[in-house]
Structure 1
């Protein structure tokens, strides 16, 4: 007991240095001291829970398809619905955080999202699944208060690190859920329930955890350095700046007057085009991650089949042996082609979890690569790092689409995931340089581009799932490679990738 007390005392021990607005100037990862590090750990944990529940239905889809006799298209459309809800929420939740503070909004999202998750067992058909996942998509909006919270607590020197960590570690929930939900499912089955009852009970567990967390954070954490949201210090800001999703804080209005002449001359046309390109490219990395999370376990089941096995024959013979003679029923049963899969629901989910679990380090890896090249090549170095990560992602997606064995698929999937997450990190390493007075606004637009991209990729999946699922990854890869070339047209602080070659030519002339 005394050892535990000493351990808890260490977690609360050190005082954290603050700036004039009360924001932390230090980052102590292993501390849970209020208000700063408590808010950090609370925001990342809540975002992790939200992501886990948001995709909590996906690992159990094979069983749900079997019980409700759903088609591949029904499931694919439900994936689109789960992502679509987050786009509207991004627009709504930001201003709500400004009005009520991140703690209450995070709590509201967790409590609201837990309700449809707990009621998932009541659905009876494909339409019910689509509507259900649309409402569960509320949990995807937790990204906004998560980033808002850390932006309020930490000053500009360390807020980028704080935001990257809570974002990456929160996204881990997308991989963890493919381990957690099948484990709960098997545990309930082991207790005596059949598979159709087991999944209905399993989905209640993450809903219950979200509900408990949503209530608990109201009493165990703080909105801002001053405590309650009403006591916050309001720094001077330009009208459009918010503290919602910025990788760095927006500069105060008096500092904006001191911008150098080169930056002031940057045309609005270049700024708009750069923001548009970054939105597209974030859809090519974060959008790919979200879309892949909604289809990957099913893709593995569809892709790797027992050689010589005919899906329709297996299904029809099974149902005829049970006395099913109606042609419509047999046709419906034949849609579920998991009988010929080498994998089962649990093993497919286990492999799919690898994609999300790379968030543990890969997103930060992209930021580190960008920082390393920036030290030697300045801003062109960040652009090169971004283009290399996107190009690597595209190549690995194409290679993954051609894999015909499970070991090779696992290896390429893992490498592909590293490039996907690293590309997300390099994207947000560029955002603060686009227009420093509007970092928060631009970061919000770029983030929305990721969700929009996910909807586009899920829509393409609907068209290909019954024809050739592997083609989906091939198309993604080609699009990402083409999108990576757009980096050549990004102009930040009057600098492009081409300036690197111009500078080298200039150096050669000076040497001569």
Structure 2
């Protein structure tokens, strides 16, 4: 530890350390939030049948689940700066558990959509996790800590594909009807989130030196008026909005690509649904290490080249991501296609980790607000890209149906699948070009000489740094 109490190493088994204990609790909380947020996805065929959802209602429920997160992330970052991560996470978990539980009791499509809107708010957990690790770890390791906590938390979005069916199987074994299992599974997920909120309150602190309320009382933290000034300064900083665009280009594109990849692999390469689904799940599980690598190399480049080094690595890995996706979009053979898809998966997750190795150094008085704005960028990017892909695919499929309807149902389905694959392929190419453009723009992020010197000085005061 250094004199400020921040951890200078990521010693995962040192549970006596407050920063390490906080790292584990915030990572687990983030995992549970993502698990609950996407928990209904494996059950959507059952939900459609049970509630009689129309295709439009199904898509609307997906859209509101992502849209709600945008506003929640913008708000929660500012609240973290003002009240601290401990109280914010406690309330997010306990209140966010309510719509998760209520989803198990819905009877109409509208009730289902409303619950999914409010469940989307727990996606703001990402912001609190990044904020809490940012103020618990020293500059030499903060990128690695941020990336690891985020990567392990993101696993919740993939683990639900395995975990939720297991919960359903368990409740069925107690005599619950199979058609009702999805309801009980969501209730279980909500209760676990609620209990985690209690754990967060009693077993973490806002900073290595104590909670916000105590520190504000002693004058160690700014009062509310200065908090407002910090937030205004944050939204005026052009670097924040470049990072907003950067996170849209990495996390936003990851969400969109993986959300459409199942169908694309089936249509473009004639894979079975189960095989395509397992491939996509394996890419999601790469978060175990890939995002951590992004933060790790961000820290290493920070050691070699200062804050500018972190930006340079971010630009390079983002450029690699764009090249990988653009190249994959033109692949017609499965073997080479998988190679470039793995390259995309690795680089996009590393770019996410690298982004939040830069965020803590933009404005240390408004880390929460900046994390919220940048985090929201990911969801905005996902929403825009999804709408582009959906519209391109819909137009192409309608044309294919109209041109082949006289040839029979099988011919129509084949033409429709081919048209969809071609439309999504061209969409991936556009996304890849956008990512490369964003990588170039990211080079405009600059730091003052004073900022560079301040971080360099802080590094020298870290005994364990080498």
Instruction: Please classify the TM superposition score into its range, dividing by the shorter chain length.
Output: 0.7 to 0.9
Q: Which residue of 2 aligns with 1:358?
A: 286
Shift of 1:277: 3.4
**Which blocks of at least 5 consecutive residues in structure 2 are unaligned?**
398-418, 449-466
Shift of 1:287: 1.0
> Contact 2:143–2:298 at 8 Å: present in 1 too?
no
Q: Which residue of 2 aligns with 1:176?
A: 159
Q: Distance in 2 between matches of 1:301 and 1:120?
A: 31
User: If each structure's helix is expressed as a fraction of its own residues, which one has the higher value?
Assistant: 2
SS in 1 for 2:273: coil
Superposed CA deviations along residues 340-376 of structure 1, whole A, max 9, x for unmatched, are: xx435xx665443223211111112233445566677
Q: Distance in 1 between matches of 2:110 and 2:264?
A: 22
* Distance of aligned partners of 1:348 and 1:132 in 2 relative to their CA distance in 1, 3 Å threshold: farther
Relative to the length of structure 2, the TM-score reads: 0.75
Q: Distance in 2 between matches of 1:410 and 1:123?
A: 40
Q: Which residue of 2 aligns with 1:3?
A: none
1:282 counterpart (247, 261, 282): 247
> Contact 1:34–1:221 at 8 Å: present in 2 too?
no
Shift of 1:70: 3.2
Q: Distance in 2 between matches of 1:304 and 1:196?
A: 33
Q: Distance in 2 between matches of 1:24 and 1:385?
A: 24
Q: Distance in 2 between matches of 1:409 and 1:185?
A: 35
Superposed CA deviations along residues 29-72 of structure 1, whole A, max 9, x for unmatched, are: 21222532221211111011111111111122233233334344
Counting only pairs closer than 5 Å after superposition, residues 6-155 of structure 1 correspond to structure 2 as 17-19=1-3, 21-33=4-16, 35-155=18-138
Q: Distance in 1 between matches of 2:435 and 2:259?
A: 22
1:446 counterpart (374, 382, 387): 374
Q: Which residue of 1 aligns with 2:408?
A: none
Relative to the length of structure 1, the TM-score reads: 0.69
Shift of 1:137: 0.7
Please give the root-mean-square deviation of Cα atoms over the aligned residues, in Å. Answer: 3.8
Q: Which has the higher contact order (CA 8 A, sep 6+)?
A: 2
> Contact 2:79–2:368 at 8 Å: present in 1 too?
no
Q: Which residue of 1 aligns with 2:436?
A: 484
> Contact 1:58–1:294 at 8 Å: present in 2 too?
no
Q: Distance in 2 between matches of 1:36 and 1:374?
A: 21
* Distance of aligned partners of 1:175 and 1:430 in 2 relative to their CA distance in 1, 3 Å threshold: same
Corresponding pairs, count:
417
Q: Which has the larger radius of gyration?
A: 1
Kindly indicate whether residue 346 of structure 2 is the aligned counterpart of residue 418 of structure 1.
yes
Range that drifts further, 170-179 or 224-233: 224-233
Q: Which residue of 2 aligns with 1:214?
A: 197
> Contact 1:97–1:105 at 8 Å: present in 2 too?
yes
Q: Distance in 2 between matches of 1:82 and 1:191?
A: 31
Q: Distance in 2 between matches of 1:230 and 1:95?
A: 16
